């Protein structure tokens, strides 16, 4: 038996080499994708390594060869699928790496001619995942102030200018907690962001600090544990809780709690990237009431996924955002990107599980301080 290895750019080229050296009677024993060369893990060249054999003395091979004389050798379907899938994965990985490298190059080109304090600040903001267009606008503002200064500005001065930029950029968006005038406080958002715990924190502040008369409504009938969790909080605060299964139940609860200051509504966590779950909410809650609705989001979520959820909630009147799990991330850029893109303020930030602690009523100054503390200048 004559066995030989062939290396080519693709299977078509490999087959040409095999036929040229072993003839049409050759049999492919194995093939695999290999990589050569490259720079810093990028731009590697992909090669196809094929093992082929020829055995003219075997009767079995003679029969196979006779059949193969009538049609060219073929690669098993599953093998072709595996090769194609590997090719797609490799291309996707390379494109991702190239995109990342281009983004880094773009930021570096933007910063290279700036004074060092501005370079440092903008570089740190990029690490915090602030969008490049925001960084570009900031760098222009900082450079203008830098050039117009009588003396060379210190790093601390430039940091203060950067903080002023972010505070000013959010000046038209309302931040802060619940409105005293709103009777119904509604928290919506996807699974796992901590809506029930956050709702309890806000409610506890109203009961313990402001002495308000409150009640709970839960529409989360999908999870028994969620109802029990809210009932536990309700018992601790000595307030009633109503479980709502349909719109008629919600309307009865409105009448039942007519004399209360605030009614806090806990909704089910669902995959709100799908519009059908938004429709379910609309059919369960009477949004025409005196209501304030907060979209609760986790800072650990991907910005792209969050933006899709926000878009789907456009049919409802989302008043402000709540961002949870600040203690589980070191980057806060997503918060600012979403505020500026969607032109909505933030009601609360949470940074832990303790009730009623680990809750901050949001202000522009508080948001900016979190961002710059995370930058560790």
SS (H, E, C) the chain: CEEEEEEECCHHHHHHHHHHHHCCCCEEEEEEEEEECCECCECCEEEEEEEEEECCCCHHHHHHHHHHHHCCCCCCHHHHHHHHHHHHHHHHHHHHHHHHHHHHHHHHHHHCCCCHHHHHHHHHHHHCCCCHHHHHHHHHHHHHHHHCCCCCCCHHHHHHHHHHHHHHHCCCCCCCCCCCCCCEEEEECECCCCHHHHHHHHHHHHHHCCCCCEEEEECCCCCHHHHHHHHHHHHHHCCCEEECCCHHHHHHHHHHCCCCCEEEEECCCECCCCHHHHHHHHCCCCCCCCEEEEEEEECCCCHHHHHHHHHHHHHCCCCEEEEECHHHCCCCHHHHHHHHHHCCCEEEEECCCCCCCCEEECCHHHHHHHHHHHHCC
**Residue 91, domain member (yes or no):** no
- Predicted local distance difference test score (pLDDT) of residue 33: 74
- For residues 118 and 79, state if they share a domain: no
Q: Mean pLDDT throughout 346-357?
A: 86
Where a domain ends, among 144, 169, 194?
Answer: 169
Q: Taking the mean position of all CA atoms in its chain, how far away is CA 60?
A: 58
Residue corresponding to tokens 């509504």: 265
Instruction: Assess whether 47 and 141 both reside in one domain.
Output: no
Based on the fold, state whether residues 300 and 163 are members of the same structural domain: no
Residues 310 and 188 placed together within one structural domain of the fold: yes
34-66 pLDDT tens trace: 766 655 555 567 777 878 777 655 545 555 545
Q: What percent of the chain clears pLDDT 70, i.e. is strictly above it?
A: 82
**Quick one: 26 and 64 in the same domain?**
yes
Kindly state whether residue 105 falls inside one of the protein's structural domains. no
Query: Both 161 and 191 in a single domain?
Result: no
CA 370, CA 330: separation in Å to the nearest integer? Answer: 10
Closest CA to 134 of 88, 165, 111, 159: 165
The number of domains in the chain is 3
Examine residue 107 and state whether it is found in any structural domain, yes or no: no
Say if CB 280 and CB 269 are below 8 A apart.
no
Joined together, the tokens standing for residue 59 give 């009767």
Are 237 and 192 found together in one domain?
Answer: yes
Out of 236-240, 249-253, 269-273, 317-321, which region has the weakest mean confidence (pLDDT)? Answer: 269-273
pTM score, whole prediction:
0.70
- Is the same domain home to 151 and 198? no
- Mean pLDDT for 125-136 is 93
* Residue 85 tokens, joined: 């899938």
pLDDT greater than 80 at residue 82: no
Same domain, 156 and 188: no
Within a domain: 102: no
Residue 321 lies in a domain: yes
CA distance 155 to 165: 15
Q: What is the pLDDT of residue 59?
A: 43
Domain extent at residue 228: 184-375
Assign 197 a pLDDT band (cuts: 50, 70, 90): very high
Does 358 have pLDDT greater than 90?
no
The answer to whether residue 64 sits within a structural domain is yes
Q: What number of residues does the chain have?
A: 377
Indicate whether 69 and 141 sit together in one domain.
Answer: no
CATH code, domain carrying 302: 3.40.50.300
Based on the domain organization, do 368 and 250 belong to the same domain? yes
- pLDDT of 217 reads 94
């Amino acid at each position: 038996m004559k066995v030989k290895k062939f290396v080519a750019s693709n299977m078509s080229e490999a087959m040409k080499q095999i036929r040229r050296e072993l003839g049409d009677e050759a049999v492919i024993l194995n093939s695999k994708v290999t990589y050569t060369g490259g720079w810093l893990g990028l731009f590697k060249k992909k090669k196809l390594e094929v093992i082929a054999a020829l055995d003219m003395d075997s009767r079995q091979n003679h029969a196979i060869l006779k059949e193969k004389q009538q049609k060219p050798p073929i690669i098993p379907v599953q093998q072709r699928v595996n090769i194609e899938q590997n090719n797609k994965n490799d291309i996707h990985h390379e494109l991702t790496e190239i995109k990342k490298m281009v983004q880094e190059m773009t930021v570096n080109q933007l910063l290279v001619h700036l004074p060092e304090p501005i370079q440092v600040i903008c570089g740190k903001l990029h690490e915090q995942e602030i969008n490049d267009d925001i960084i570009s606008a900031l760098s222009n503002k900082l450079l203008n102030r830098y050039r117009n200064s009588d003396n060379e500005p210190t790093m601390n001065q430039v940091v203060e200018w950067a903080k002023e930029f972010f505070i000013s950029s959010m000046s038209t968006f309302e931040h802060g907690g619940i409105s005293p005038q709103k009777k119904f406080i509604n928290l919506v958002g996807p699974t796992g962001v901590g809506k029930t715990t956050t709702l309890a924190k806000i409610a506890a502040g109203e009961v313990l600090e402001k002495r308000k008369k409150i009640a709970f409504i839960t529409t989360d009938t999908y999870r028994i544990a969620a109802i029990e969790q809210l009932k536990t909080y309700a018992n601790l605060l000595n307030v009633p809780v109503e479980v709502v299964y349909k719109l008629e139940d919600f309307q009865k609860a409105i009448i039942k709690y007519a004399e209360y200051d605030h009614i806090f509504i806990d909704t089910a966590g669902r995959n709100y990237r799908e519009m059908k779950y938004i429709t379910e909410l609309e059919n369960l809650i009477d949004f025409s009431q005196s209501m304030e609705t907060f979209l609760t989001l986790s800072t650990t979520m991907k910005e792209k996924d969050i933006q899709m959820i926000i878009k789907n909630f456009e049919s409802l009147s989302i008043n402000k955002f709540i961002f949870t799990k600040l203690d589980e991330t070191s980057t806060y850029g997503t918060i600012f990107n979403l505020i500026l893109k969607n032109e909505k303020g933030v009601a609360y930030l949470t940074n832990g599980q303790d009730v009623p602690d680990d809750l901050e009523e949001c202000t522009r100054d508080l948001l900016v301080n979190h961002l710059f503390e995370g930058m560790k200048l």
